[in-house]
Structure 1
Amino acid sequence: MDAELFPRALTEIAPGAVHVPDWLDTGRQRELLHACREWARPPAGLRTVRTPGGGTMTARQVCLGWHWYPYAYARTVVDGDGAPVKPFPAWLADLARRAVTDALGTDAAPETPYDIALINFYDSDARMGMHRDADEDSDAPVVSLSLGDTCVFRFGNPRTRARPYTDVELRSGDLFVFGGPSRLSYHGVPRVHAGTAPSELKLTGRLNITLRVSGL
């Protein structure tokens, strides 16, 4: 049965945090996947992120516009090959603004254009611990787009990594936006469901495209 018995609906998970299922159609998902594969090529391509304590993140990452490394931004891949970070395309900024408008309303869209993309690739064993997106000098909403395998996205609160939090199933094409009182909420990915990506994408694993305003 192709259609779900109960279609998934736009849901406010917390104040200022909204899940929009199936926001990207199949064609747009294919376009984004093609772009991600190009961005992942060296130089300044997909890399393993190492933390100051000597650990490594299991999700691999590539950045656009500004290069993020724990816990700052730079214009070059200072923790990798040293190449200049790849440019952030204007069409991606337009997509981010439309995402915020669709999820939170026109008034929530920032005046300053989006200028950062963090693209994380998760294989079946990758996880992301609870963290906050707090290295930007801007309170503009964070835009998160999912491609490929379904994941469990754990969205918490601004005060602690512990409960209360809500687990949300993010599928390929889903949009999640968080701003306002939820802008600095802890969040993470405790589980990826391998083999759940749409067959037409021909993608093994999960891609998460996170769009932000740097304020830098």
Structure 2
Amino acid sequence: MSGNLNTKITNHLDWHKSNSEYGTQLVLREEKYKEIELANLELMDVGILGCIIEKSNFSKIDFSYSNFSFTQFNHSKLFMIDFIKTELNHSKFENTVAEKCNFFRANLMNSSFLNSSVYECNFSNAYFLNSQFENCTLDGIDFSNTTLENISLNQVLFNNCIFNGTKLVNLNVENIKGITISNNNTLVGKDAINWLETQIINCNI
């Protein structure tokens, strides 16, 4: 990790622990980081805006209440990361593995998951709008009370996912180009939408 980034993180942690209204908040704009290793940190309320993060490993970090808009994760690994109530609009996860991460109430408008694998992550109460999933594995994902609005699905594997109270809004059959379910059946268009609808459990019942 670069000395400059290390200093910024240290200053942010000092400010956050002080409970002071004003301080040196960690805000990174349109910067590129490669081969970064970060672990066991509480980095809440940070701004990582329009950055590119490549070939990096993040583990056990709390990024709750942060803003990652327009940021890209490429060829990276995310393990047990908290993105609770975090802004991830226009974010991109490409060739990236996310495992046991928490996206509770995150905003993921215009986000993209490309050639990526997502395991045992919590997306409950999250909001997806115009989001894209392509060549992805979604395994053990909790979509409870999540809104999936006008999303695109292309070659996406769903396995052991939870859809309690999930809201499907304005799904266009032309944007549902292929999903694979656990028995290796591939569904396209209306058939795929029908399958998703059958998975939803109405929590009010």
Q: Is the pair's TM-score, using the shorter chain for normalization, greater than 0.5?
A: no
Q: Which bin holds the TM-score, normalised by the shorter protein?
A: under 0.3
Q: Which has the larger radius of gyration?
A: 2
Q: Which has the higher contact order (CA 8 A, sep 6+)?
A: 1
How does the TM-score come out when normalised to structure 2? 0.27
Of Structure 1 and Structure 2, which has the larger fraction of its residues in strand? Answer: 2
How does the TM-score come out when normalised to structure 1? 0.26
